[in-house]
Amino acid sequence: MRSRARPTFPHDTCCVVSGGTGWVGRHVVRFLIEQGVERVCVVTRRGTTSECSCDKLNRLREFCDTSNRIELLEVDPSRLLVLPSDTEYVVHCAGAVQSLLESAIMEANLLFAWRMLAAASRLDRLRRYVHLSTLLMRGDSETPFSESSLDIGQHCVSAYTLSKFLAEVMIQKFPHSLPVTIVRLGAVLAPLHISGAFNRDWLYWTLNLWQQGRLRAVPLTSEESFYPVPVDWASQVIGSLLTAEQPPAVVHIPAEPGPPVNHVFSAAAKVAGRDPPDFYAQHSTEWRCYHKSLPSEVRRIVSLCYPPPPAGSKLCAIDSSASRAWLARAGIVMPELSESYWRRLAEETREDTSDTQDLCTEENSGSYD
């Protein structure tokens, strides 16, 4: 991120980051540490994985290259959540993205969001609360989806997008006035300088399965664009919003669409030494027939990554003009994702031989990390 001014935090600042051991959260924590924040309290759900709290904390401290400025607050989602009384900034990253259980997604993305808001409303020193949402909740409306849009008659294509939509409704209706900024993220991908770090999202699994020869086609049109953002750049924008003067109520990150998917897979094909996959519209007969022919394990993963939309529909256009204007005033410039970036991402994805069953485990079904 190139910016005229880095965020300046008051001395002895305490920041709370929910889900700070997860993909986006740990990059937000590292950015805050790099900016001199004295104390970062990471909120995570007790008992979400077999990993003990000491191991979680040690891994995060190693990732952030610090030993004494990060503390872990493990919480029971069913009990009253109490944040440190000296907290001035809160970033709510926690949530579940891919899950076999709709109830787990609703619990993580809606109920826990309510508990975080309620806890923040009891803080006397709160300056800014940043809530992470998604651009996917734009759904299939006929009108462009802008920062001022929420309910524009769209269909939510999955339990995940519905939970994020309802969380934003809840923020609007929350009975206490809080200084909230909502960040609607696109596809959060590997850092600009990839070094063995990637998120197992829809693009990861598609590239991984395709390079293994287990997925010949994907449910996208070849000219379809998506909204990619490197996780390190996204975390810097999130961190900068905390101390920004008069930040907007809603920000789209990124504010511009990325390349069409055929460009991304063409770059990956050069690495894999094979032809790009076939592209079928997700509601087409060709895709439905191909999807039925997939092995059950692969079909489950693809269904999680590409939840079926209403028949004949497609995601609507996005209007991010207000976000572009704010980013320009803040002097923040989105880095260009060159072909070499997509090739490096493909290389990292190809080298990962982890069992794809990992996506379908109970451990992944409702994690707040």
Tens of pLDDT along 133-177? 999 888 887 889 999 999 988 888 788 899 999 999 999 999 889
- pTM as predicted: 0.90
Please determine, for residue 52, whether its predicted confidence score (pLDDT) is greater than 80: no
Please report the pLDDT score of residue 274 as a whole number. Answer: 84
Please report the pLDDT score of residue 368 as a whole number. Answer: 38
CB burial class (10 A; 0-12, 13-18, 19+) of residue 314?
A: middle
How far is Cα 268 from Cα 262, in angstroms, rounded to an integer? 10
Query: Look-up: residue for tokens 């490197």?
Result: 230
Please report the pLDDT score of residue 5 as a whole number. Answer: 52
Other beta carbons within 10 angstroms of residue 129's beta carbon come to: 23
How far is Cα 158 from Cα 99, in angstroms, rounded to an integer? 10
CA geometry: angle 272, 274, 275, nearest 5 deg: 130
Other beta carbons within 10 angstroms of residue 196's beta carbon come to: 8
Count of residues in the chain: 369
User: According to the per-residue pLDDT averaged within each range, which of 36-45, 218-227, 282-291 is highest?
Assistant: 36-45
Spatial CA neighbour of 254 closest among 171, 344, 144, 337: 337
CB burial class (10 A; 0-12, 13-18, 19+) of residue 335?
A: middle
Lowest average pLDDT, out of 36-40, 138-142, 334-338, 351-355, goes to: 351-355
Q: Is 359 helix (H, G, I), strand (E, B) or coil?
A: helix
How far is Cα 210 from Cα 65, in angstroms, rounded to an integer? 35
Spatial CA neighbour of 92 closest among 170, 3, 154: 170
User: According to the per-residue pLDDT averaged within each range, which of 57-66, 126-135, 286-295 is highest?
Assistant: 126-135
Query: Look-up: residue for tokens 């000491």?
Result: 54
Please determine, for residue 47, whether its predicted confidence score (pLDDT) is greater than 80: no
To the nearest whole number, what is the mean pLDDT of the chain?
A: 86
Q: What is the mean pLDDT of residues 321-345?
A: 89
Query: Look-up: residue for tokens 């750049």?
Result: 233
pLDDT in tens, 207-254: 888 988 899 999 888 888 889 999 999 999 999 999 998 899 999 999
Please determine, for residue 306, whether its predicted confidence score (pLDDT) is greater than 80: yes
Confidence of residue 357 (pLDDT cuts 50, 70, 90): low
pLDDT in tens, 69-119: 999 999 887 788 999 999 999 999 998 876 668 888 999 999 999 999 999
Domain parsing of the chain, residue ranges: 14-189+228-257+314-334
CATH of 14-189+228-257+314-334, one of 1.20.910.10, 3.40.50.720, 3.30.70.3040, 1.10.540.10: 3.40.50.720
Category of 206 on φ-ψ map: left (φ > 0), alpha (ψ -120 to 50) or beta: alpha
Backbone angles phi, psi at 205, to 5 degrees: -65, -35
Q: Is 180 helix (H, G, I), strand (E, B) or coil?
A: strand
